[in-house]
Structure 1
Amino acid sequence: MTVSQSTDLRIRPARPGDVPEIVDLVQAAYRGEGGWTTEAHLVRGARTHADEVRGMLADDAVALLAAEAVTELERPSDSPEGGIVGCCYTRQEPPDVNGLVQAELGLFAVHPSAQSRGLGGRLLESQAELLTAAGVDVLMIRVLQSRPELHAWYERHGFVRTGTAVPFPGDPSWLTVEGLGMDVMERPLRRV
Protein backbone atom coordinates (compact mmCIF):
# COMPACT_ATOMS: atom_id res chain seq x y z
CA MET A 1 0.00 0.00 0.00
CA THR A 2 1.33 3.43 -0.86
CA VAL A 3 -0.24 6.68 0.24
CA SER A 4 0.83 10.04 -1.12
CA GLN A 5 2.24 12.73 1.16
CA SER A 6 -0.78 14.98 0.50
CA THR A 7 -3.50 12.44 1.19
CA ASP A 8 -7.03 13.79 1.06
CA LEU A 9 -9.23 11.88 3.45
CA ARG A 10 -12.90 11.28 3.80
CA ILE A 11 -13.65 10.31 7.38
CA ARG A 12 -16.98 8.53 7.54
CA PRO A 13 -18.85 5.94 9.59
CA ALA A 14 -17.63 2.43 8.81
CA ARG A 15 -20.01 0.14 6.91
CA PRO A 16 -20.46 -3.63 6.97
CA GLY A 17 -18.66 -3.93 3.63
CA ASP A 18 -15.56 -2.34 5.23
CA VAL A 19 -15.06 -5.16 7.74
CA PRO A 20 -12.41 -7.20 5.85
CA GLU A 21 -10.41 -4.09 4.99
CA ILE A 22 -10.57 -2.81 8.59
CA VAL A 23 -9.38 -6.17 9.94
CA ASP A 24 -6.45 -6.17 7.49
CA LEU A 25 -5.60 -2.54 8.31
CA VAL A 26 -5.63 -3.13 12.07
CA GLN A 27 -3.53 -6.26 11.75
CA ALA A 28 -0.96 -4.39 9.62
CA ALA A 29 -0.78 -1.48 12.08
CA TYR A 30 -0.62 -3.50 15.31
CA ARG A 31 1.06 -6.77 14.32
CA GLY A 32 2.83 -5.93 11.06
CA GLU A 33 6.29 -4.60 10.43
CA GLY A 34 7.36 -1.19 9.25
CA GLY A 35 5.04 1.09 11.17
CA TRP A 36 5.90 2.84 14.41
CA THR A 37 2.69 1.62 16.06
CA THR A 38 3.43 -2.10 15.77
CA GLU A 39 3.18 -4.17 18.92
CA ALA A 40 4.45 -7.36 17.26
CA HIS A 41 7.47 -7.41 19.57
CA LEU A 42 5.20 -7.30 22.64
CA VAL A 43 1.99 -9.10 21.65
CA ARG A 44 1.33 -12.12 19.43
CA GLY A 45 -1.94 -13.11 17.82
CA ALA A 46 -4.54 -11.21 15.85
CA ARG A 47 -5.43 -7.72 17.10
CA THR A 48 -9.04 -8.07 15.93
CA HIS A 49 -11.24 -10.29 13.82
CA ALA A 50 -14.27 -9.85 11.58
CA ASP A 51 -16.83 -10.89 14.21
CA GLU A 52 -15.51 -8.28 16.65
CA VAL A 53 -15.70 -5.52 14.04
CA ARG A 54 -19.20 -6.58 12.97
CA GLY A 55 -20.19 -6.51 16.65
CA MET A 56 -18.94 -2.93 16.91
CA LEU A 57 -21.02 -1.92 13.90
CA ALA A 58 -24.13 -3.47 15.48
CA ASP A 59 -23.61 -1.74 18.85
CA ASP A 60 -25.51 1.57 19.22
CA ALA A 61 -22.98 2.77 21.82
CA VAL A 62 -20.11 2.45 19.32
CA ALA A 63 -19.00 4.89 16.65
CA LEU A 64 -16.57 3.19 14.27
CA LEU A 65 -14.98 5.61 11.83
CA ALA A 66 -13.07 4.80 8.66
CA ALA A 67 -10.58 7.18 7.04
CA GLU A 68 -10.66 6.64 3.31
CA ALA A 69 -8.21 8.00 0.76
CA VAL A 70 -10.36 9.84 -1.78
CA THR A 71 -8.24 9.83 -4.92
CA GLU A 72 -7.37 6.79 -6.99
CA LEU A 73 -3.62 7.41 -6.69
CA GLU A 74 -3.90 7.34 -2.89
CA ARG A 75 -5.83 4.10 -2.65
CA PRO A 76 -3.99 0.97 -1.66
CA SER A 77 -3.02 -1.09 -4.68
CA ASP A 78 -4.16 -4.27 -2.93
CA SER A 79 -7.68 -2.90 -2.29
CA PRO A 80 -9.32 -1.47 -5.44
CA GLU A 81 -12.77 -1.27 -3.82
CA GLY A 82 -11.71 0.60 -0.74
CA GLY A 83 -8.84 2.76 0.21
CA ILE A 84 -9.32 2.70 4.00
CA VAL A 85 -6.09 3.95 5.52
CA GLY A 86 -7.27 4.48 9.10
CA CYS A 87 -9.97 3.60 11.59
CA CYS A 88 -10.95 4.04 15.22
CA TYR A 89 -13.92 3.33 17.41
CA THR A 90 -15.36 4.87 20.51
CA ARG A 91 -17.76 3.23 22.91
CA GLN A 92 -19.87 5.70 24.87
CA GLU A 93 -20.69 4.75 28.45
CA PRO A 94 -23.83 5.79 30.33
CA PRO A 95 -23.39 8.78 32.67
CA ASP A 96 -21.62 7.94 35.93
CA VAL A 97 -23.01 8.81 39.39
CA ASN A 98 -21.81 12.42 38.92
CA GLY A 99 -23.42 12.73 35.50
CA LEU A 100 -20.12 12.58 33.60
CA VAL A 101 -20.17 10.77 30.28
CA GLN A 102 -17.06 8.91 29.17
CA ALA A 103 -16.19 7.21 25.91
CA GLU A 104 -13.42 4.71 25.30
CA LEU A 105 -11.20 5.08 22.23
CA GLY A 106 -9.89 1.92 20.63
CA LEU A 107 -9.09 0.01 17.47
CA PHE A 108 -7.18 3.15 16.49
CA ALA A 109 -5.02 2.36 13.49
CA VAL A 110 -3.35 4.04 10.53
CA HIS A 111 -1.82 1.85 7.86
CA PRO A 112 1.99 1.72 8.30
CA SER A 113 2.61 3.27 4.86
CA ALA A 114 0.43 6.25 5.81
CA GLN A 115 1.80 6.89 9.30
CA SER A 116 3.61 10.06 10.39
CA ARG A 117 1.60 12.30 8.05
CA GLY A 118 -1.00 13.65 10.47
CA LEU A 119 -3.74 11.18 9.48
CA GLY A 120 -4.06 9.76 13.01
CA GLY A 121 -4.47 13.24 14.46
CA ARG A 122 -7.17 14.07 11.91
CA LEU A 123 -9.00 10.85 12.67
CA LEU A 124 -8.75 11.43 16.44
CA GLU A 125 -10.06 14.99 16.13
CA SER A 126 -13.00 13.80 14.03
CA GLN A 127 -13.96 11.37 16.78
CA ALA A 128 -13.48 14.06 19.43
CA GLU A 129 -15.81 16.44 17.55
CA LEU A 130 -18.51 13.78 17.25
CA LEU A 131 -18.23 12.88 20.92
CA THR A 132 -18.27 16.49 22.09
CA ALA A 133 -21.43 17.11 20.04
CA ALA A 134 -22.96 13.99 21.63
CA GLY A 135 -22.32 15.34 25.13
CA VAL A 136 -19.31 13.19 26.04
CA ASP A 137 -17.15 14.77 28.73
CA VAL A 138 -14.04 12.56 28.75
CA LEU A 139 -12.31 10.40 26.14
CA MET A 140 -10.36 7.46 27.63
CA ILE A 141 -7.82 5.12 26.10
CA ARG A 142 -5.80 2.20 27.40
CA VAL A 143 -2.22 2.23 26.08
CA LEU A 144 0.07 -0.78 26.21
CA GLN A 145 2.87 -0.30 28.72
CA SER A 146 6.44 -0.27 27.37
CA ARG A 147 5.35 2.04 24.53
CA PRO A 148 6.67 5.49 25.53
CA GLU A 149 6.33 6.76 21.95
CA LEU A 150 2.59 6.02 21.98
CA HIS A 151 2.15 7.62 25.40
CA ALA A 152 3.96 10.72 24.09
CA TRP A 153 1.77 10.86 20.95
CA TYR A 154 -1.41 10.76 23.02
CA GLU A 155 -0.04 13.39 25.40
CA ARG A 156 0.62 15.69 22.42
CA HIS A 157 -3.05 15.20 21.53
CA GLY A 158 -4.43 16.26 24.90
CA PHE A 159 -4.43 13.00 26.88
CA VAL A 160 -3.04 12.78 30.40
CA ARG A 161 -1.97 9.71 32.33
CA THR A 162 -4.36 8.87 35.14
CA GLY A 163 -1.86 6.78 37.10
CA THR A 164 -4.15 3.77 36.71
CA ALA A 165 -3.05 0.56 35.02
CA VAL A 166 -5.27 -2.37 34.06
CA PRO A 167 -4.39 -5.91 32.99
CA PHE A 168 -3.90 -6.73 29.32
CA PRO A 169 -7.44 -7.48 28.05
CA GLY A 170 -6.53 -10.36 25.74
CA ASP A 171 -5.10 -13.79 26.30
CA PRO A 172 -2.05 -13.35 28.59
CA SER A 173 -0.21 -16.08 26.66
CA TRP A 174 -0.03 -13.64 23.71
CA LEU A 175 2.29 -11.35 25.68
CA THR A 176 6.00 -11.64 25.02
CA VAL A 177 6.62 -9.68 28.25
CA GLU A 178 4.95 -11.35 31.21
CA GLY A 179 2.65 -9.11 33.23
CA LEU A 180 2.52 -6.30 30.66
CA GLY A 181 -0.55 -4.16 31.28
CA MET A 182 -2.31 -1.12 29.92
CA ASP A 183 -1.98 2.45 31.19
CA VAL A 184 -5.20 4.46 31.31
CA MET A 185 -5.06 7.93 29.75
CA GLU A 186 -7.87 10.51 29.51
CA ARG A 187 -8.62 13.60 27.49
CA PRO A 188 -11.26 16.07 28.63
CA LEU A 189 -13.62 16.98 25.80
CA ARG A 190 -15.87 19.41 27.61
CA ARG A 191 -15.28 21.55 30.67
CA VAL A 192 -15.83 19.18 33.58
Structure 2
Amino acid sequence: MTTPQSTDLRVRPARSADVPEIVDLVQAAYRGEGGWTTEAHLVAGARTHDEEVRGMLADEAVTLLVAELDETVGAPGPVARVVGCCYTRREAPDAEGLVRAELGLFAVHPTAQSRGLGRKLLTAQTELLAEDGVDVLMIQVLQSRPELHAWYERHGFVRTGIALPFPGDPDRLAVAGLGMDVMERSLRR
Protein backbone atom coordinates (compact mmCIF):
# COMPACT_ATOMS: atom_id res chain seq x y z
CA MET A 1 0.00 0.00 0.00
CA THR A 2 1.34 3.45 -0.83
CA THR A 3 0.30 6.70 0.72
CA PRO A 4 -1.24 9.25 -1.65
CA GLN A 5 0.67 12.52 -2.03
CA SER A 6 -2.39 14.66 -1.28
CA THR A 7 -2.78 14.08 2.44
CA ASP A 8 -2.93 16.22 5.54
CA LEU A 9 -0.47 15.50 8.33
CA ARG A 10 -1.39 16.16 11.93
CA VAL A 11 1.00 15.68 14.86
CA ARG A 12 -0.61 15.07 18.22
CA PRO A 13 0.11 13.44 21.58
CA ALA A 14 -0.29 9.67 21.50
CA ARG A 15 -3.21 8.04 23.27
CA SER A 16 -3.56 4.54 24.69
CA ALA A 17 -5.80 3.61 21.75
CA ASP A 18 -2.80 4.27 19.45
CA VAL A 19 -0.56 1.64 21.08
CA PRO A 20 -1.24 -1.23 18.62
CA GLU A 21 -0.70 1.08 15.63
CA ILE A 22 2.50 2.48 17.17
CA VAL A 23 3.90 -1.02 17.78
CA ASP A 24 3.06 -2.12 14.22
CA LEU A 25 4.49 1.08 12.74
CA VAL A 26 7.76 0.82 14.69
CA GLN A 27 8.16 -2.84 13.80
CA ALA A 28 7.64 -2.07 10.10
CA ALA A 29 10.10 0.85 10.15
CA TYR A 30 12.87 -0.79 12.21
CA ARG A 31 12.54 -4.50 11.44
CA GLY A 32 10.54 -4.64 8.21
CA GLU A 33 11.98 -5.28 4.78
CA GLY A 34 10.78 -2.04 3.21
CA GLY A 35 11.91 1.52 3.74
CA TRP A 36 15.33 3.06 4.18
CA THR A 37 15.28 3.01 8.00
CA THR A 38 15.13 -0.76 8.47
CA GLU A 39 17.65 -2.39 10.77
CA ALA A 40 16.50 -5.93 9.96
CA HIS A 41 19.94 -6.74 8.50
CA LEU A 42 21.63 -5.67 11.76
CA VAL A 43 19.23 -6.45 14.61
CA ALA A 44 16.78 -9.33 15.02
CA GLY A 45 13.57 -9.41 17.04
CA ALA A 46 10.88 -6.91 17.90
CA ARG A 47 11.88 -3.25 18.31
CA THR A 48 9.15 -2.51 20.86
CA HIS A 49 6.03 -4.02 22.40
CA ASP A 50 2.71 -2.90 23.90
CA GLU A 51 3.99 -2.79 27.50
CA GLU A 52 6.95 -0.55 26.62
CA VAL A 53 4.75 1.93 24.73
CA ARG A 54 2.13 1.94 27.50
CA GLY A 55 4.95 2.60 29.98
CA MET A 56 5.99 5.62 27.92
CA LEU A 57 2.44 6.97 28.01
CA ALA A 58 2.38 6.61 31.81
CA ASP A 59 5.77 8.31 32.33
CA GLU A 60 5.43 12.04 33.09
CA ALA A 61 8.96 12.71 31.76
CA VAL A 62 8.01 11.28 28.34
CA THR A 63 6.32 13.05 25.47
CA LEU A 64 5.12 10.55 22.87
CA LEU A 65 3.85 12.06 19.65
CA VAL A 66 2.21 10.45 16.64
CA ALA A 67 1.94 11.73 13.10
CA GLU A 68 -1.44 11.02 11.61
CA LEU A 69 -2.43 11.28 7.96
CA ASP A 70 -5.97 12.09 6.95
CA GLU A 71 -6.71 10.28 3.73
CA THR A 72 -9.74 9.59 1.66
CA VAL A 73 -9.75 5.86 0.97
CA GLY A 74 -13.04 5.30 -0.80
CA ALA A 75 -14.84 6.54 2.29
CA PRO A 76 -17.31 9.41 2.47
CA GLY A 77 -14.82 11.40 4.60
CA PRO A 78 -11.21 11.43 5.72
CA VAL A 79 -9.77 8.36 7.39
CA ALA A 80 -6.87 8.94 9.79
CA ARG A 81 -3.99 6.51 10.29
CA VAL A 82 -0.83 6.75 12.37
CA VAL A 83 2.20 6.85 10.07
CA GLY A 84 4.88 8.23 12.40
CA CYS A 85 5.89 8.49 16.03
CA CYS A 86 8.65 9.64 18.34
CA TYR A 87 9.15 10.02 22.04
CA THR A 88 11.36 12.21 24.16
CA ARG A 89 12.31 11.62 27.75
CA ARG A 90 13.20 14.78 29.62
CA GLU A 91 16.04 14.56 32.13
CA ALA A 92 16.70 16.64 35.23
CA PRO A 93 19.10 19.55 34.76
CA ASP A 94 22.76 18.51 34.77
CA ALA A 95 25.53 20.08 36.90
CA GLU A 96 25.75 23.00 34.45
CA GLY A 97 21.99 23.56 34.53
CA LEU A 98 21.39 22.19 31.03
CA VAL A 99 18.19 20.26 30.47
CA ARG A 100 18.47 17.38 28.01
CA ALA A 101 15.86 15.17 26.43
CA GLU A 102 16.46 11.87 24.69
CA LEU A 103 14.75 11.26 21.35
CA GLY A 104 13.75 7.72 20.55
CA LEU A 105 11.24 5.41 18.93
CA PHE A 106 11.46 7.79 15.97
CA ALA A 107 9.78 6.11 13.03
CA VAL A 108 7.85 6.78 9.84
CA HIS A 109 6.03 3.89 8.20
CA PRO A 110 7.94 2.65 5.11
CA THR A 111 4.95 3.43 2.86
CA ALA A 112 5.08 7.08 3.94
CA GLN A 113 8.86 7.65 4.01
CA SER A 114 10.83 10.12 1.88
CA ARG A 115 8.05 12.72 1.90
CA GLY A 116 9.23 15.01 4.69
CA LEU A 117 7.03 13.48 7.39
CA GLY A 118 10.01 12.67 9.63
CA ARG A 119 11.22 16.26 9.38
CA LYS A 120 7.75 17.55 10.28
CA LEU A 121 7.50 15.18 13.24
CA LEU A 122 10.97 16.12 14.48
CA THR A 123 10.16 19.84 14.10
CA ALA A 124 6.96 19.45 16.14
CA GLN A 125 8.82 17.59 18.88
CA THR A 126 11.72 20.08 19.04
CA GLU A 127 9.34 23.06 19.18
CA LEU A 128 7.51 21.50 22.14
CA LEU A 129 10.78 20.78 23.92
CA ALA A 130 12.23 24.25 23.32
CA GLU A 131 9.03 25.84 24.67
CA ASP A 132 9.35 23.58 27.72
CA GLY A 133 12.90 24.75 28.45
CA VAL A 134 14.87 21.82 27.06
CA ASP A 135 18.34 22.91 25.95
CA VAL A 136 19.70 19.83 24.19
CA LEU A 137 18.05 16.99 22.28
CA MET A 138 20.08 13.80 22.07
CA ILE A 139 19.68 10.55 20.20
CA GLN A 140 21.49 7.24 20.02
CA VAL A 141 22.00 6.08 16.43
CA LEU A 142 22.95 2.50 15.59
CA GLN A 143 26.47 2.26 14.23
CA SER A 144 26.89 1.04 10.64
CA ARG A 145 24.03 3.32 9.54
CA PRO A 146 25.77 6.22 7.74
CA GLU A 147 22.53 7.23 6.00
CA LEU A 148 20.83 7.76 9.38
CA HIS A 149 23.80 9.69 10.77
CA ALA A 150 23.70 11.90 7.65
CA TRP A 151 19.93 12.50 8.01
CA TYR A 152 20.33 13.61 11.63
CA GLU A 153 23.28 15.83 10.70
CA ARG A 154 21.14 17.53 8.03
CA HIS A 155 18.62 18.22 10.79
CA GLY A 156 21.03 19.91 13.19
CA PHE A 157 22.50 17.01 15.16
CA VAL A 158 26.24 16.66 15.70
CA ARG A 159 28.23 13.61 16.70
CA THR A 160 29.51 13.79 20.25
CA GLY A 161 32.19 11.13 19.84
CA ILE A 162 30.51 9.06 22.54
CA ALA A 163 29.64 5.46 21.71
CA LEU A 164 27.51 3.30 23.99
CA PRO A 165 26.92 -0.45 24.00
CA PHE A 166 23.80 -1.74 22.23
CA PRO A 167 21.03 -1.38 24.87
CA GLY A 168 19.32 -4.70 24.12
CA ASP A 169 20.33 -8.32 24.05
CA PRO A 170 23.67 -8.50 22.19
CA ASP A 171 22.68 -11.93 20.82
CA ARG A 172 20.17 -10.11 18.58
CA LEU A 173 22.97 -8.31 16.72
CA ALA A 174 24.11 -9.57 13.33
CA VAL A 175 27.43 -7.74 13.88
CA ALA A 176 29.09 -8.51 17.21
CA GLY A 177 30.01 -5.42 19.21
CA LEU A 178 27.76 -3.05 17.28
CA GLY A 179 26.95 -0.04 19.46
CA MET A 180 25.17 3.26 19.46
CA ASP A 181 26.64 6.66 18.55
CA VAL A 182 25.36 9.59 20.60
CA MET A 183 24.36 12.69 18.64
CA GLU A 184 23.06 16.00 20.02
CA ARG A 185 21.21 19.05 18.79
CA SER A 186 21.05 22.36 20.62
CA LEU A 187 17.54 23.74 21.09
CA ARG A 188 18.64 27.10 22.46
CA ARG A 189 17.39 30.00 20.40
Q: Does the pair score TM above 0.5?
A: yes
* Cα pair 1:3 1:74 within 8 Å, conserved: no
SS at match of 2:84: strand
AA aligned to 1:162 is: T
Gaps spanning 5+ residues in structure 2: where? none
Alignment of 1:71-82 (within 5 A): 71-73=71-73, 82=80
Q: 2:6 and 2:99 mapped to 1: Cα distance? A: 36
TM-score (norm 1): 0.94
What residue in structure 2 maps to residue 141 of structure 1? 139
Residue among 122, 125, 128 paired with 2:126: 128
Corresponding position: 1:91 with 2:86: no
Q: 2:74 and 2:29 mapped to 1: Cα distance? A: 18
* Cα pair 2:71 2:80 within 8 Å, conserved: no
Q: CA deviation at 1:17?
A: 0.3
Q: 1:188 and 1:120 mapped to 2: Cα distance? A: 18
Q: 1:181 and 1:82 mapped to 2: Cα distance? A: 36
SS at match of 1:155: helix
Q: CA deviation at 1:74?
A: 10
Gaps spanning 5+ residues in structure 1: where? none
1:81–1:60 CA distance, 2 compared to 1 (3 A): farther
Q: How many residues are aligned here?
A: 187
Q: 2:33 and 2:71 mapped to 1: Cα distance? A: 26
What residue in structure 2 maps to residue 159 of structure 1? 157
Identity of aligned residues (%): 76
TM-score (norm 2): 0.95
SS at match of 1:73: coil
* Cα pair 1:4 1:74 within 8 Å, conserved: no
* Cα pair 1:2 1:74 within 8 Å, conserved: no
Q: 1:17 and 1:185 mapped to 2: Cα distance? A: 32
Q: CA deviation at 1:72?
A: 2.8
